[in-house]
Structure 1
Amino acid sequence: MKQVKLAVFGVIIIFLSGCGSARYGRDATLSQDIGEYYKAIEKYRKARKKEKNREKRIEYAYQLAECYRAIGLYDYAAQNYKFAIRLGFDDKEALLHYADMLRITQKYEEAYETYRTYLEAVPGDQRALDGVEAMQKTQEWVANPTRHIINPIKEINSRESDFSPVFVGGRDNEIYFTSSREASTGKKESMITGQKYTDIYRATFGIQRQKWEKPRLLDESMIINTGDEEGAVTLSSSGEEMIFTRCRYDKSEPLGAELYSTSQSRGSWSSPIKLQIVGDSIIAAHPALNPDGTEIYFVSDMPGGQGGKDIWKATVDGGSFGRPVNLGPTVNTSADEMFPFVRDNGDLYFASNGHIGQGGFDLFHAYKNDDGILVVENMGSPMNSPSDDFGIAFVTGENKGMFTSNRKGSRGDDIYSFVVPPKVYQIEIDVFNKETASHLDGSTMRVIGTDGTNMKIRARGGKFKMKLKPETEYVFAAFKDGFLRDKAAVNTIGLEDSKDFRFTMNLTPTDAPIKVDNINYEFGSWELLESSKTALDTLVQILVFNPTITIELMAHTDYVGSEQFNFDLSQKRAQSVVDYLIEKGINPNRLVAKGYGETWPKTVTRKLANQYDFLKRGDELTEEFILKLPEAQQEIARGINRRTEFRVLSTDFIERFDAEPEG
């Protein structure tokens, strides 16, 4: 995160006073101590080149690695840590930092071995354990990405650093952001980054061209943008008041990061006023106002924090500020937490290299759960990458916005757009005639949902389609005169992604007997086998779902045995089924038991004809027909005749509930 540690943070450390390699070394150390990492790198490289002493050269390599790590050049940092370690640098911190750089640059196998080596020397070090966990988590995040869609905004980004966008008035057609591009008014080169001092820029979205217009300086009159560095911005909800970071210099020596306030009237900005939130000797940067402007969040390394740079909060009251409060260890770590942003729903977003993440800085979301406990979550992939991701802002009321990243493909710190597309749920149902296997025209779909949905819709051509609402349960029932109803249930509760539901409903015609499959009895008996009860439970559901029908339970046998025996057996079997249905709560007035023995041979249906190639639709399985078949086929045909069916007798049954007699 090249620009992040730059001007905004390199200036926060208390300054230290300070030929050949020794002079370069002293100058480099001084620059490093005051955060001028780019300048320090130049000096250390010269010092190492001239130095003859082996120990000094190793020390310079290590300090070079530290400087590269500070400005987010992790590949260079890894190379110099490796060099120092190989030459015998004995501080174990170098091994830990080297493992971190290997992890960030996605050399996971080497990183794991380096962490393991470090933990052998420093058992139980939480930083190393977190590094190992971070690699495992990264694989999970990449394998299970969030629904965010991200894209670099090419019209806004330059070859220099562009970062920390904010939306003016919360709208998506205008932003302010920070940049070190060529047009900046600060002509000097930062000793922290090697780039120009940063300024605040404005960009607007062109409706006609449907793209972002070329960014321009927010202020060219040197009121906001000056010869010093202007950085991260926050705006009031109307966009008329602005608080921003300014890093002042005196003869190129940094004086610290401070917050300034200004307001806009008729397109002109007032002279900025320094905010008195912290003491004069303490830095304050990266401001973020909450939606109603009653609280300001900012970054500081003031005493009382968790270590490194922390996020603090102060109340705003008529232009004065209450005592800053540290956000505590749930948000802040011993490393750096920066670039806070408060969304319109009150949730906090920030960047951190202390919480477990994928790379250098990751984006995190802090919110209170249902129990009122503050929870911090990594935003996962693709919002985060092995590089630095920070400076997020949302459009008011929408799940979209912008953030900053120097991930692969960026030219430095670039601004990216993101959007979470709305979850779309849709159901499509094909309604078929179960007998003909063709779409059933003229059927009606009844839809009932827990959100209050209750409607009837014609399924034209046997097809039905509609969009569903999130977090809702639905029941769909298809019906048509002359057919048994069918139903399906779906729900969108807890679904993280869009989903299309597809169902087939088969409506059974009631003008012919309907076979109940898998009804079996003991041989020569009317006792139902236990396995038959699952099929009968399905019949119970049919009767419950079609409450106006009365049916005749029809039991059939084959021709083996006497006619009277078969008739009696089939009647008892039909009654066994009726008795079971009554036990399950079906009104006995809806049921008639009828045994037909061998007198009603089965007529082959389309389904049976498709199942058995020796039968064709319309064949009647009489004794005469069966005896003409080969022996193996005769047994199949007799088995088809041994069946339990039902047919609909009426469709106008009304359940009557008589009042209980008075005592």
Structure 2
Amino acid sequence: MLTLVLGGCKASGKLSKSNKSYEIGEYYRSIEQYRKTYRKTKNRAVKAEIQFRIAEAYKYIGEYKRAATFYKTAIVRGYSDPIVFLHYADVLRADQEYDEAIANYQKYLKTSPGDQHALNGIASCDRTPKWLDNPTRFQIEDLKSLNSKASDYAGVYPGGHENQIVFTSSREGATGRRDSPITGQLYGDIFHSYYDKQKGRWEKPTLIDENLTVDTGDDEGAASFDSRGTTMYFTRCRYDKTKSMGAEIYTSSETGGTWSDPVRVELGGDSLLIAHPSLSADGRTLYFVSDMPGGFGGKDIWKAEGAPGAWGKPVNLGPAINTPGNEMFPFIRDNGELYFSSDFRVGMGGLDIFKAVKNDKGQWEVENMKSPINSPGDDFAIYFIPGEDRGLFTTNRKGTRGDDIFSFVLPPKIFEIDGNVVDKETGNRLKNATIRLIGTDGTMLRLNADNGKFKFRLNPETEYVVAAFKKGYLNAKANETTIGLKDSKTFDVSLALTPTDAPIRVDNIYFDFGKWDLLPASKNALDSLVQILVQNPTVTIELMAHTDCRGDAKFNFELSQKRAESVVNYLVANGISPARLVAKGYGETAPKTVNRKLAQKYNFLKRGEELTCDFINKLPTEEEQEICHQINRRTEFRVLSTDYREKFAPSPKE
């Protein structure tokens, strides 16, 4: 793939014969050469050095499991450079051996305290399992009918038209040589394929340029198109025999199905690495990768503004984007979002895809795209269809045959309320209640819940009030919001309507034994009662306090009256008009009659039974008797009227 080819697009220099292939980036060729040298030497230090170099070559090729084996052997043989622990940890992490990876990062940190690469690696080991267990909403699919056993990557839809895909491949049919010293595969060419709707699959890919003006014996790939899909920018690594002449960006235009002779895009002077073009939607900014002076690490992302044939001076995107590692495969989306791959930031594997968005101050804010877009393998070359949350990306994760092209889609977030209306006393669904939904976005909906069920579709970034109304019941409402939600959500809403024709128990009202001061634990229950009265401003109620039948009747009556008054005082203190409230203590004079809810909860009680002292004393166990006493010790309210209107005193005259 071109990530490897770019590693070899550099001058050779004067190197020892044994290391020359490796140093100029011919990783595949160097492995076999090192193996031959290894068999001929008996020097332990040399053997350790060779093991390390083979591991490095496998790491660059992306064969992390093989690389791990050779790193481990190099460590056992006493390879002296601590960098071996760092790189060994990297490939262990890519193979999801997180505990062992962390141990080796820590070994490296002992020799290089505070090293950011190692610290990022440890953080990656911690986060990757969590990201795998909690993937984002993206859905991905392997384009198996398109991919081959060779590298297939950097797929795009020219002009956003999904019937044609253009991508880079080193498959059979590519024009390059078969024995690439870098990858062991054919040099890449630009292919295209059309989608066969009847067969539901991609047709057999062919070279994009039958005249071989774009595709040559050199290495071509990573194409980007203008908005019409007729002008293409692509990378070409040229070779003179086995010597690399560097990576450059070329451009070609299509007319009548024929591509013009490619023209080199002048961007970096004498730089040996100008690659991975991405053209902005308006055609005025070209993003690309280079290792030219002025960068922050290995390969950086740059941009040049202007127009074809007149590009301005390249500008590095700065440390908010670029790191001491490699940033590659930029893609500038039509909405201004920048996507790229990096091997240095906290991520899941070798290369991870990142999203960068400018904040209100014009500063880039970068985030990892996480699973399933990213994986413990290499993930890169993402492409979005203009105006849509779907597109293509490349990965070599487990299950692929190398670099394969996947499609992705971000389904729209779906928010909805799935609700029901019930009788607060019985818990049964109420038929024919009226439901209203009001949203801060102007939503005003009304429906009839025939069977006690209702459902609404909600909009994102909106606050809602859902309310239920039914004759003979107090109104009820609930508040929900979709503001800030990153994932789809169904809100389960149950609106319990209070009947107005019978006393309603207020649960969880607590007093100390023999006292009437409200305890703090009663606050939530009383606040709920406040909300009922606020939602039903025309209602007046009687607060009813009851005791059990034990103790002095007069004391029980006075105690219940004071307790009812304590509840009323709390409601008044929280904004309820005293004119709407009546406090009434009943002592032990109104024992509870068993309703359906109580009968279902306690199998020794039957609906309609009155919990008098005589009834309770005849129960066979003390436990059952105590339960009945607890039921009788209750606070209730009942609706007195539903036509209350607040009276306001006229303003005094001057």
TM-score by length of 2: 0.91
Contact 1:4 1:71 in 2 (8 A): no
What CA distance in whole angstroms lies between the structure 2 residues aligned with 1:592 and 1:273?
91
Distance change (3 Å), C-alpha of 1:214 and 1:603: same
- State the Cα deviation string for residues 535-571 of structure 1 (Å, max 9, x = none): 4443322211111222234455666789888777766
Q: Is the counterpart of residue 344 in structure 1 residue 342 in structure 2? A: no
205-214 vs 252-261, which moves further: 205-214
Q: State the match for 2:354 in structure 1.
A: 364
Match for residue 2 of structure 2 among 4, 7, 12:
4
What CA distance in whole angstroms lies between the structure 2 residues aligned with 1:38 and 1:434?
74
Distance change (3 Å), C-alpha of 1:334 and 1:587: closer
Which residues of 2 match residues 14-93 of structure 1 at below 5 A? 14-16=11-13, 26=17, 28-51=18-41, 55-93=45-83
Which residues of 2 match residues 239-254 of structure 1 at below 5 A? 239-254=229-244
Distance change (3 Å), C-alpha of 1:565 and 1:376: closer
Q: CA deviation at 1:441?
A: 0.5
Alignment: residue pair count: 653
Q: State the match for 2:344 in structure 1.
A: 354
Distance change (3 Å), C-alpha of 1:573 and 1:369: same
- State the Cα deviation string for residues 486-526 of structure 1 (Å, max 9, x = none): 22222222222222222322222212222334556677777
Q: State the match for 1:661 in structure 2.
A: 652
Counterpart residue type for residue 422 of structure 1: P
List gaps (5 residues or longer) in structure 1: 19-24
Q: State the match for 1:467 in structure 2.
A: 457
What CA distance in whole angstroms lies between the structure 2 residues aligned with 1:533 and 1:77?
64
Match for residue 577 of structure 2 among 581, 587, 590:
587
SS in 1 for 2:103: helix
Contact 1:428 1:502 in 2 (8 A): yes
SS in 2 for 1:435: coil
Contact 2:6 2:273 in 1 (8 A): no
Distance change (3 Å), C-alpha of 1:192 and 1:649: same
Q: State the match for 1:500 in structure 2.
A: 490
Q: State the match for 2:506 in structure 1.
A: 516
What CA distance in whole angstroms lies between the structure 2 residues aligned with 1:326 and 1:60?
37
What CA distance in whole angstroms lies between the structure 2 residues aligned with 1:132 and 1:571?
66
Distance change (3 Å), C-alpha of 1:607 and 1:102: closer
Contact 2:267 2:311 in 1 (8 A): yes
Contact 1:604 1:617 in 2 (8 A): yes
Contact 2:592 2:632 in 1 (8 A): yes
Match for residue 652 of structure 1 among 639, 643, 652:
643
Match for residue 277 of structure 2 among 275, 283, 287:
287
- State the Cα deviation string for residues 109-162 of structure 1 (Å, max 9, x = none): 333333333333444444333333332233343343322222211011001110
What CA distance in whole angstroms lies between the structure 1 residues aligned with 2:489 and 2:77?
57
Distance change (3 Å), C-alpha of 1:10 and 1:620: same
Q: Is the counterpart of residue 375 in structure 1 residue 365 in structure 2? A: yes
What CA distance in whole angstroms lies between the structure 1 residues aligned with 2:509 and 2:179?
88
Q: CA deviation at 1:87?
A: 3.0
List gaps (5 residues or longer) in structure 2: none
- State the Cα deviation string for residues 219-273 of structure 1 (Å, max 9, x = none): 1111221222211111111212111112222334332211111112232222221
Distance change (3 Å), C-alpha of 1:253 and 1:571: closer
Distance change (3 Å), C-alpha of 1:125 and 1:461: closer
Contact 1:9 1:257 in 2 (8 A): no
Q: State the match for 1:21 in structure 2.
A: none
Q: CA deviation at 1:651?
A: 1.9
Q: CA deviation at 1:34?
A: 2.7
Distance change (3 Å), C-alpha of 1:561 and 1:81: closer
Q: State the match for 2:253 in structure 1.
A: 263
Counterpart residue type for residue 652 of structure 2: P
630-639 vs 200-209, which moves further: 630-639
Distance change (3 Å), C-alpha of 1:363 and 1:508: same
Counterpart residue type for residue 244 of structure 2: P
SS in 1 for 2:86: helix
Which residues of 2 match residues 379-458 of structure 1 at below 5 A? 379-458=369-448
Distance change (3 Å), C-alpha of 1:454 and 1:658: farther
Q: Is the counterpart of residue 603 in structure 1 residue 593 in structure 2? A: yes
Q: State the match for 2:306 in structure 1.
A: 316
Q: CA deviation at 1:396?
A: 1.6
Distance change (3 Å), C-alpha of 1:406 and 1:554: closer
SS in 1 for 2:405: strand
Q: CA deviation at 1:430?
A: 1.8
Contact 2:29 2:182 in 1 (8 A): yes
SS in 1 for 2:318: coil
What CA distance in whole angstroms lies between the structure 2 residues aligned with 1:74 and 1:629?
75
Q: CA deviation at 1:281?
A: 5.2
Q: State the match for 1:141 in structure 2.
A: 131
Identity of aligned residues (%): 56
55-64 vs 492-501, which moves further: 55-64
